[in-house]
Structure 1
Amino acid sequence: MTSRLIKLVSLSAALVVVALVSGFAYWSRSPVNLGGANAEDRSQLLRQWQAGEVVALVRHAERCDRSSNPCFGPADGITKVGNDAAIAVGQGFIRLGMEQADVISSPATRTAQTAHAMFSKDAIAQDWLASCGKPLRNDVVAHKRAHHNLVLVTHSGCISDFEAQTGYPHAATSEYGSSLLVHIDEKGELKILGIVKADDWKSLLQGSSVQ
């Protein structure tokens, strides 16, 4: 084998490796974790929230039927641990400001309980947040009022449906209490901002002007 041929083979092998690595990274990519966002990104999020341009898709808290922790209420609802976690998540949203925000939940017990724990009141329940599927992206945009943020308490499968429809078809499954934040402008143009895990609200809001 000539020296030139050896170099070509080596180069081809290197390109294959790069393509495989790049393809795997793209295949498995998920929205950025906003818990580690820099000051500029945090400030941008706060401005967008204050302008009423954000939608948050929140996964319900820990399911009672899939945990050994005590139930908070009915067996198809959330655990006591999950209820406490949902309260903490709600405090993060309250610090952002809920004066111009709508809250809608799936009609399932676990989502209704999560929404109530977050904001100390019942949310409007709508079936489309349980069925999800292909119409979900358009449903989210349709329910977003101008200059009003929208908090949607839903299910991991629904969040996965939404991510698949917005450029993240193989994102990691959302955790209990995590929030997928999305920017939607007045024209209905949509951009995923990232994920805030249940324990990341303190770090996200640290140093911000919100109280």
Structure 2
Amino acid sequence: MREHINVPPAPTAGKLLKSATKFRVLLTAAAIVVSLLLLTGYTYWPRSPIELASGHNMSRAGLYESWKKGEVVVLMRHGERCDRSDNECLGPKDGITRNGSQVSAEVGRSLSQLGLDQTDVLASPSTRTAQTAESLFGHPVASQEWLFDCEKMNLGQVMAHKANNRNLVLVTHSGCISQIEGKQGYPHADTSEYDSAVFISLDKRSRPVIRGVLNPQDWKQLAMKAGD
């Protein structure tokens, strides 16, 4: 005698349609949730500081006024490295290129239009930063070892070298700038370009805050706005 096996009835077209619709709804909801998470992460986890040459960012950050009061710190990366370029070297192989020196000189002219009467300048002791600083300001600049030790650099150390009512320009390295940015909420900031700068000033609570970055091609534009 054969054993009787109960076979469940095949799902109807209506049930299949209902299941497919439910699946699409769940899939859409999941996509929305993921999008919101990504958007929230992007909003609260900025990749890089703002570009100061864009729109009125420099004015909105109050940096023109802060500069006049001697309240600004600028971290500048050295010029184009000779050992990583096919361009002609300015001098030793561990220095910058002639092209890099020319770019630094142009940046220096724009920087001088902001006013350097109440500005101190320090550089890392490496050849490339020393050459960059001299190209920027037209004369040799005092060097300090701590500007080369990027792993230990922090914003408190930077601010400790700033005198009251005087701006401070530090010619340093991309690794040092990244170290400061990472500790100030920008762990995934783009690597600084040659001759680019990060601007820092105090907020209303007297805490140092990164206001934004300025790339070499934007310096002239910034200097022109300063004269408006």
**Length-normalised TM-score, structure 2:** 0.83
Cα separation, partners in 2 of 1:11 and 1:38, compared to 1, 3 Å: same
| Deviation, structure 1 residue 7 | 4.0
Following the alignment from structure 2 to structure 1, what is the Cα–Cα distance between the partners of residues 91 and 60? Answer: 36
Task: Kindly indicate whether residue 215 of structure 2 is the aligned counterpart of residue 160 of structure 1.
Answer: no
Q: Which runs of 5+ in 2 are unaligned?
A: 1-18
The secondary structure found in structure 1 opposite 2:49 is: coil
Identity %: 44
Q: 2:64 aligns with which of 38, 46, 60?
A: 46
Cα separation, partners in 2 of 1:192 and 1:22, compared to 1, 3 Å: same
Q: 2:200 aligns with which of 182, 197, 207?
A: 182
Aligned to 1:63: 81
Following the alignment from structure 2 to structure 1, what is the Cα–Cα distance between the partners of residues 186 and 102? Answer: 30
Higher relative contact order (CA 8 A, sep 6+): 1
Q: Which runs of 5+ in 1 are unaligned?
A: none
> Which letter does structure 2 place at the counterpart of 1:154?
T
The secondary structure found in structure 2 opposite 1:200 is: helix
Following the alignment from structure 2 to structure 1, what is the Cα–Cα distance between the partners of residues 106 and 58? Answer: 25
Task: Kindly indicate whether residue 134 of structure 2 is the aligned counterpart of residue 116 of structure 1.
Answer: yes
Q: Report the aligned-residue RMSD.
A: 2.3
- Larger deviation, residues 41-50 vs 169-178: 41-50
Cα separation, partners in 2 of 1:159 and 1:207, compared to 1, 3 Å: closer
> Which letter does structure 1 place at the counterpart of 2:38?
L
The secondary structure found in structure 2 opposite 1:84 is: helix
| Deviation, structure 1 residue 208 | 2.9
Following the alignment from structure 2 to structure 1, what is the Cα–Cα distance between the partners of residues 111 and 223? Answer: 10
Task: Kindly indicate whether residue 35 of structure 2 is the aligned counterpart of residue 17 of structure 1.
Answer: yes
Q: 1:92 aligns with which of 110, 114, 118?
A: 110
Following the alignment from structure 2 to structure 1, what is the Cα–Cα distance between the partners of residues 80 and 20? Answer: 63
> Which letter does structure 2 place at the counterpart of 1:131?
D
Whether the 8 Å contact between 1:141 and 1:188 is mirrored in structure 2 is: no
- Larger deviation, residues 131-140 vs 96-105: 131-140
Whether the 8 Å contact between 2:45 and 2:185 is mirrored in structure 1 is: no
| Deviation, structure 1 residue 118 | 0.5
Instruction: Give a deviation string over 1:126-173, Cα, whole Å, max 9, x none.
Output: 011000224421210110111100000000011000100111011000
Cα separation, partners in 2 of 1:157 and 1:163, compared to 1, 3 Å: same
Q: 2:215 aligns with which of 172, 175, 197?
A: 197
Following the alignment from structure 1 to structure 2, what is the Cα–Cα distance between the partners of residues 22 and 65? Answer: 41
**Length-normalised TM-score, structure 1:** 0.90
> Which letter does structure 2 place at the counterpart of 1:76?
D
> Which letter does structure 2 place at the counterpart of 1:168?
Y
Which entry has the higher C-alpha Rg, 1 or 2?
Answer: 2
